[in-house]
Each structure stands twice: as C-alpha cells, then as structure tokens.
Amino acid sequence: MMMRVLEDELFPSTPGKVKIERTHAASRQLHRCFASTSTLFLWTLLLIALTASYLSFQSFVSTSSRYFTASWGGLHWERQIRASAAVRRSDGLTVLVTGAAGFVGTHVSLALRRRGDGVVGLDNFNAYYDPSLKKARKALLSSHGVFVVEGDVNDAGLLAKLFDTVPFTHVMHLAAQAGVRYAIENPASYVHSNVAGLVTLLESCKSADPQPAVVWASSSSVYGLNDEVPFSESHRTDRPASLYAATKKAGEEITHVYNHIYGLSITGLRFFTVYGPWGRPDMAYFSFTRNILQGKPITVYRGRDGTNLARDFTYIDDIVKGCVAALDTAEASTGSGGKKKRPAQYRIFNLGNTSPVTVPVLVEILERHLKTRAKKNMVEMPGNGDVPFTHANISSARAELGYKPTTNLETGLKKFVKWYLSYYGYSRRLGGKSS
C-alpha cells in the first residue's frame, strides 16, 4: 500500500495537469521575484535620491557656513574695502599695505590716510609677538578709516579678490617674518612669509589690471658680513649672516625677476633698525624698557673682541617719510595681462639715520628717561646671525627721494618711553603701574 502511495506521488495519473500547475506556480514565483526586484530597485533609487539630497544639503550648509564665518568676502566686506580705498585728495594714491597691523605698516598706513590717500590693509595677525598689540594697532587704523583685512599674503584667492575689488595703484609690501634670532627656532616661517608670500603677492600684482607699482621692505641685514662702512647699495650682499638676511636677499633677486619679465615697477627699501612708538616687543630697546621697569636684568651683547655692538637706529617717522617718498616717486608698472611692454623702474635704497650708536649708550638713554638704573648682564655675542654693527649710506635716498632723517636717538627714545608708559598703564611715578 505504501508503495502505491509513493508511486502515485511520483507518477501521477494526470501528468499533464500537474505540469500545467507547476508551470503556473513557477510563473507566479517569477512574477513575485520581478515584483520584489522592482520594488527593491525603486526603494534603492529612493534611497540614493535621499542620500544625494542630504549630501547636497550638507554641502550647501557647509558652504554657507564658510561664507558667513570667513574673515573676508561678501557684499558688506566689499563695501568696507571700497570705502577704505576711497581717495580723498586730487591725484591721490590707492595703496594696498601688507603687514598693516605691524609696526611700520601701521605708521605708513596712517600717514597715507591722513594726507587723503586710499588705504586697504592686510595682516595675518600671527603670534610671533603679542597679537593684542597688533589688534590695538588695527583699532587705531580703524578709527582713522583704514580697514584691515585679516588674511595671509600666501592666500592667492584673497589677493585676487582684493585686486578685483579695487584697482590699486600701489602696493606697500611690509608683511614679513621679522627677527634674526627667531630664524634658528622656526626657519620654515621665514621661507613661508618672506619668500613664498612675496612670490604669491608678485604673481597677483603681475596679473592685475592695472599692474600696481610695488614698494617693499628689504633689510639692512642683507649686508651680512660686509665690513665696508657706511653700507652702500653698491656693496656686496652675497654673504648673509642669518636666514632672515638670506630670505630678504632672495626677495631682492625675486623682485628683480618680476621686474625684468613682467614689467613690475619695483622699489626695495633696506631699513636700518627701526624704533619708536607702537614698536615691536622683540626689539632690544622695547624689551630693555620692559625689563628695566620690572626690575629684571637685561642682557647686553658685546663683540667677541670685547667691542660694543652698534646700530644705526632710525626713528619710525623718518622711515615713514622714506616709504611715502618711495611711493610718490615710483613710476607706473609697464606690463599688461601679465606681459611686459617695456622696461620698468627698479630701485633699491638704504633708509637709515647715518649715526650708529652703541647698545650701552642706548641703555644709558633709557635709564635717564625711565629714571631707573638697569641691571645689566654683559654677554659675548653668540653665533646666532647678529652682526656687530650697521651704518647706512643714504646718499642715493637723499638724492632720489629727498630722504633726510631728523630724529636722533635721544629724542626718539624719549617719545617711545612716553608712549610705552601710556600704553602699558604705568603711573607718573616710574617703576609702578597705575591702578
């Protein structure tokens, strides 16, 4: 009996009917499969669409966030730039000042603004020294109608936007990584700012329409191991004593290339130990003042043969007059669309005081104005890139720029001390801070 049941199951009496039913069943399964696949496909498409929409929204939010939080860009930003660049005198200049919140940059920007030139500043507010001092300088500039953009000269996009917004007639390039000794600690910062930053700026200038004339800050440090005095622009500058000096010398060669190939009008200014109000805290006269007032010892370096170091200290107002004169006498660049049409002006000048003073004499002057004796540690000068003396020959600047320094160190330091005591809140009774 069992065998019969098995046989009926295996060999049914109506095989055709079974075949048709099996065919219908297979068809239904196939239909379900396709229906399921279609549904899955539709769900997949929907998921992809939702994912794409989400990512697009995220991208929009991210882009919008960057737009609203960026330190530059936007209609309000452009209005501030154009207002700051507005000229207020006939035949006035429109100047982009890099390093505008720096020591020299602040003073030059104020001088230009006060005489009615259009000025737009650019500064990255780095932390090489106290950024709060740079912010205070920015506030000072703002009170005189000078807008300072927070950005880096290595930002080609920012520079392009600035030149697209304002047809600058001149660029006063003062942004740089300063200081001789710091180069031992952070050499990359000097290459980044003084070489790469300069090239980025020059690339923007040569592509601008119109091309601006460029005046920029080189340094007396380029004279390096030169022992001919006073230092003249015709002297050798191929033996730098520090990385800082090497980057400034490289800058002179780089600017010559852009002058030769692209027709940029170039004027390089070799500053000699600039000092004065709103100065740099890393400079000796500044740190000496701080330490003397705080009763801390100061380190005074001497040459290895026991000689006193000497510097051609140059007061900030004299340097500013040289910078402005360089801008006023700069000829127009001769390129267009990145191509040179004819030879362009190329100049280099020393801007110094021509009267070197030893560091011990500097300390004596500060002691008189601060009415406080300094605690001095006399130390042999280490091999950190400093040179024993600087002395400027300014005959070229005098002849071509009408440059004539008028402030001696005694007078200049008196003005600096007055500013220092006021800015840092010292009372009239020297040696203590006002409450």
- Known catalytic residues are 244
Contact 358, 207 (CB under 8 A): no
CA distance 291 to 311: 20
Distance CA(210)–CA(163), nearest Å, equals 9
What is the residue whose two structure tokens read 């010398």?
249
Rounded Cα gap, residues 356 and 239, in angstroms: 22
DSSP states of 157-225: HHHHHHHHH---SEEEE------STHHHH-HHHHIIIIIIHHHHHHHHHHHSSSPPEEEEE--GGGGTT
Cα separation, 397 vs 400, whole angstroms: 5
Alpha helices in 70-155 (DSSP H): 75-85, 103-114, 131-143
φ, ψ of residue 271 to 5 degrees: the values are -75, 140
Q: Which of 149, 160, 147 is nearest to 86 (CA)?
A: 147
Token duo for residue 318: 């004299």
Task: Give yes or no for a contact between 231 and 391, defined as CB atoms under 8 angstroms apart.
Answer: yes
At which residue do the structure tokens 């920029």 appear?
216
